[in-house]
Amino acid sequence: MTSNPIQSAPSFNAGLNSPMSAQLYYIKAKQAYAEKQWQQVCVFAQSCISAARNDEKLRFLAKEILAASLVKLNQSQQALVIMIELHQHKPDDALIIYNLALVLMHLMRYDDAIRCFQRAQELVPENVDFLMNLGLAYYKNRDFEHAKTSYQTAVKLAPKHADARFAVAWTLQAEGRIAEAMSAYEKVFELEPAHTTTLSNMIFINHYLYPFDLNAQIKLVQRFGSVLNVADIQYKHKQLQPHSPLRVGFVSSDFCDHPVGYFLYSTIEQICLDPELRRQLTLVAYSNESKEDEYTQKLRNRFDLWRRVDEWSDEHLFEQIKQDKIDILIDLSGHTQGHRLSVFAKKPAPLQVGWIGYWGSTGLAAMDYVLADPVSVPVDEERWFVEKVWRLPHLRYCFSIPPKALEVGLLPCIQSRHITFGCYQNLIKINDDVLRLWSRILTACPEAFLRVQAHDFIKQSSKDRFIERLNLAGLDLNRVKLVGGMTIEEYLASHSEVDILLDTFPYPGGTTTAEALWMGVPTLTLSSTGMLGRQGEALMVNAGLPDWVAYSEEEYVQKAIDWGNADLAQRQVLAKLRSDMREQVKESPVFNAKQFAGEFVDSLYGMWREKIKL
């Protein structure tokens, strides 16, 4: 349980209540705030409030800084009480309303936050910060159209505001308008040629464009490297020596209820449970995220050392990794949101490795290896990596068995007598080419149905836009069911409503494919270029289901049609596959965490030994 910083005693002269001591407390609070010492801010601010009984203005300022620090300490409910009090005292103060909205954002009360930001913007119409955060509130509320409008207004007010231009591109990306987003990101470079976040986003979303262009990807990666690579790496490492245990650090913003957490946990758990593996490694986590959940706690309990670094500067994190004497530093973000590649570029550890969380080259000369497998990166694609490719024997990751999964349900087509295809992917993955092939499949399978489930369908506007796209692609809407978000238990149970999953391309499923395997549902996947493009293939091959991999659009369509028109005998084959699948995949590389943990530790030592010889 988190302690209450307001109840903590200040470290000096707590009994003083003079105006001078109140001023001193406030100065100390501001100093602590500048140093990001949030607990100390709360102590000094509360002391200031107590001491400044006759100075309403100073009490007001102290309450503002107290509320801001409580938010940083994930105690936003207490901060909200303070901000409501301040708002009642000054109901038309735009800055107070704005800060109240920021607290509401942390509480994920986005509708309320939007109303507050709108009111603040009415009071000060040309404040770009108000518009930017109004846009963010809309974005968090999955209202991308209004978010984009807010950001575009900010651009009109401040044409040279690079972050405003970035935000416009960001909303286009969220809407799945990838080509437009790429063009919009390019406009950011007109203002800031070294805007690395923009480059990372472009590298990331290029994977959504079909067909995936490796040449374009490597140009983006090289562009990123030219901006971030440190010519003279700051930290000169001593001569490496063989030793055990190796100190291994993991850097991520996704140590939580997130696909990275799902793929990581079983591996870390098995390392901790196996005495032989455990003695070989000291595990250190660098968490670049303030919000935590139950999954965060599960992971934290398995690490020897856990550091929260989301408020740390690059230099602070760089120095801490050095002080922690990390031998191998593993990146679990790549070019996804919340990465710390700018720290990796400075080489804080002698051996640096890219692993889960991303699926390609970082572009950093300071990154020594990338972990792959025989399927995801063929030998002829190694040239697309700045890093050296190190292949694990089977699969480059292992999925954690879903803890809340029900028993495998009966195959629905046995009773319904028609095949129901399904898809659980984010809408951004369902591009027009995917819909084009799905239209061909349903046209050739007049009895088949398609069930598409996506969180965005909880918004009617998102559902309406997708229906419009289905119409344009020629799908029979009478045979398509759209389902919104649900709890993890309901989501896993919903696999009893589908017979076969149709994968997306060139960005296939990962987590959804693994979870479907556990629930007895095979995924028909289209393998394409690149580590990510082969993700579905790698999972299905390692699950012992290579027949569910297609290597061309025609093969993908034909395999789906063959199943979509399945007779009773074929449906019984599918039913047998479903009933046997969990036992089959449980011992496969997809879920066999004990086997994978051993292979993972062997790979770490293999890379270390190879590095020593270099």
**How high is the mean pLDDT of the chain?**
94
The yes-or-no verdict on residue 306 having pLDDT over 80 is: yes
Here the contacts of 505-508 (C-beta below 8 Å, separation 24 or greater) are 505/210, 505/433, 505/434, 505/533, 506/207, 506/208, 506/209, 506/210, 506/211, 506/212, 506/530, 506/532, 506/533, 507/207, 507/208, 507/429, 507/532, 507/533, 508/429, 508/532, 508/533, 508/535, 508/536
**pLDDT tens sequence across 227-252:** 987 644 655 666 677 778 999 999 99
pLDDT attached to residue 102? 97
Where residue 7 falls among pLDDT bands split at 50, 70, 90? very low
Whether the pLDDT of residue 276 is over 70: the answer is: yes
Query: What residues contact 35, with CB distance under 8 A and at least 6 apart?
Result: none
More confident residue, 227 or 590: 590
The answer on pLDDT for 3 being more than 60 is no
Q: How does residue 404 score in pLDDT terms, banded at 50, 70 and 90?
A: confident
Cβ atoms of 448 and 562 closer than 8 Å: no
pLDDT band at 340 (very low <50, low <70, confident <90, very high): very high
| Band of residue 335 on the pLDDT scale cut at 50, 70, 90 | very high
HSE, side-chain direction, 13 A CA sphere, residue 455 = 10
Find the mean pLDDT for residues 341-365.
96
What is the tens place of the pLDDT at every residue in 533-564?
A: 999 999 999 999 999 999 999 999 999 999 99
Tell me the mean pLDDT in the region 207-212.
Answer: 96
pLDDT of 610 higher than 90: yes
To 10 degrees, what angle do helices 196-205 and 178-191 make?
A: 160
User: At 10, is the pLDDT very low, low, confident or very high (cuts 50, 70, 90)?
Assistant: very low
Q: Is the pLDDT of residue 18 over 70?
A: no
- What average pLDDT score do residues 439-464 get? 96
Work out the average pLDDT over 52-56: 91
| Local confidence band at 284 (pLDDT 50, 70, 90 cut-offs) | very high
Asked if residue 414 lies in contact with residue 496, where contact means CB atoms within 8 angstroms, the answer is no
The full set of domains in the chain, from first to last, is 5-167 (1.25.40.10), 168-223 (no CATH), 246-398+594-613 (3.40.50.11380), 412-591 (3.40.50.2000)
pLDDT band at 291 (very low <50, low <70, confident <90, very high): confident
Confidence of residue 405 (pLDDT cuts 50, 70, 90): confident
Q: State the pTM of this model.
A: 0.91
Asked whether the predicted pLDDT for residue 61 surpasses 90, the reply is: yes
Residue 470 has pLDDT above 90, yes or no: yes
What percent of the chain stands above pLDDT 90?
A: 91
CA distance 603 to 133: 45
How would residue 515 be classed by pLDDT, with cut points 50, 70 and 90? very high
Residue 565 CA to residue 284 CA, distance in Å, equals 52
The per-residue pLDDT for 73 is 92
| 160 vs 5, more confident | 160
pLDDT for the residue 229: 76
| Lowest mean pLDDT segment, chosen from 36-40, 254-258, 405-409, 537-541 | 405-409
588 — pLDDT class (breaks 50, 70, 90): very high
**For 19-28, 32-41, 405-414, 469-478, which range has the lowest pLDDT when averaged over its residues?**
19-28
* 91 pLDDT more than 90: yes
Whose structure tokens read 């070019």?
A: 335
Q: Which of 112, 122, 127, 49 is nearest to 80 (CA)?
A: 112
